[in-house]
Amino acid sequence: MIKNNLVLDVPPGIGLFGLAFEKEGYCLVMGPDLLWGRDMRDWHPPKGTFEGIIGGPPCQEFSRMRHMLEATGKLPRFGNLIPEFERIIYEAQPDWFVMENVSDAPIPVVSGYTVHDYLLNNRFFGGVAHRVRRFSFGSPQGYELQFEVVAFEALEWQYAVTSDGRQIPVKYLKGGKPKRVTVLAADTPTPGQRRGGTNYRTLEENCLLQGLPPDFTKYMPFLKSAKYEIIGNGVPLLMGRAVAKAVGQAILTGAGK
């Protein structure tokens, strides 16, 4: 058993899932990601170094939005990278791993590990935004996760943070242009809304809904559109911390074998 609290995040994106584990006392190492000019497909991890491995391989292959993209002649930028995540787990041989992805993503399979998967909503943990993700937890012992959820969900309800700032479902017209949707708002639109047009949130509002400071992206060297995308693709901090805490408890107590 490797008990060093050292966790590899691959592919990390901008590291929101890793940030959650860091907040729960783990030491994070960010692995390769195309966002930073490095490809996980070309990388081989050292064996026996990491206690745990976390990551969210690009999910466009399994996203329900894929069909809308294909209808406009666009294809996902990345293929299925879950096999690469599985390979890295097998080569590194950590005590445990967690993969997060969209709800329709397949469960990872790694020789020597028993995997349990969970569909979680950000609102289970006190979040305002409705955000469902699949988390697959694997360990040689077959540990299962027990989550601490809130007794009552938040009274306020918001759509999930998206990669382009929209906060309501959008239908696409022929050619890929989004259909305009009238905002159903009171006399005065809330921040980020445009009456009579498509409903957008500000980047700062998206950060807050993900559990981050509003100026989280201030010094990031990306265009604003890219900032929307990387924040929208991340794991909400409340949800991520709940997963990290459950992992720590499972490993500490040997729960759920």
Residue whose tokens read 């445009």: 194
> What average pLDDT score do residues 70-96 get?
82
User: 133 lies in which domain range?
Assistant: 6-152+235-253
Task: Kindly tell me the number of DSSP H helices and DSSP E strands found in the chain.
Answer: 6, 6
> What average pLDDT score do residues 50-78 get?
69
pLDDT category at 186 given cuts 50, 70, 90 is very low
- Is 227 part of any domain? no
Higher pLDDT, 238 or 188: 238
- Is 159 part of any domain? no
Q: Please give the backbone phi and psi of residue 85, each rounded to the nearest 5 degrees, phi first.
A: -65, -45
- Is 29 part of any domain? yes
pLDDT category at 182 given cuts 50, 70, 90 is very low
pTM for the model stands at 0.85
> What average pLDDT score do residues 189-216 get?
77
- Is 85 part of any domain? yes
pLDDT (0 to 100) of residue 167: 72
> What average pLDDT score do residues 26-41 get?
95
pLDDT digits (tens, 9 = 90+) for 165-181: 777 655 555 555 555 44
Average pLDDT over the chain, rounded to whole?
86
pLDDT digits (tens, 9 = 90+) for 117-156: 999 999 999 999 999 999 999 999 999 999 999 999 999 9
- Is 68 part of any domain? yes
Q: Are 40 and 58 in contact (CB under 8 A)?
A: no
Q: Alpha carbon of 151 to those of 113, 120, 165, 208: distances in Å?
A: 33, 15, 30, 22
User: What percent of the chain is modeled with pLDDT above 70?
Assistant: 79
The count of structural domains within the chain is 1
pLDDT (0 to 100) of residue 79: 75
- Is 10 part of any domain? yes
pLDDT of 256 > 60? The answer is no
pLDDT category at 105 given cuts 50, 70, 90 is very high
> What average pLDDT score do residues 29-41 get?
95
Among candidate residues 51, 7, 45, the one with its CA nearest the CA of residue 27: 7
pLDDT (0 to 100) of residue 205: 94
**Inter-axis angle of helices 16-23 and 237-253, nearest 10:** 50
pLDDT of 88 > 70? The answer is yes
pLDDT of 16 > 70? The answer is yes
Q: What is the CATH number of the domain that holds 244?
A: 3.40.50.150
Among candidate residues 140, 139, 145, 121, the one with its CA nearest the CA of residue 131: 121
- Is 23 part of any domain? yes
- Is 195 part of any domain? no
pLDDT (0 to 100) of residue 1: 81
Q: Are 50 and 29 in contact (CB under 8 A)?
A: yes
User: What percent of the chain is modeled with pLDDT above 90?
Assistant: 72
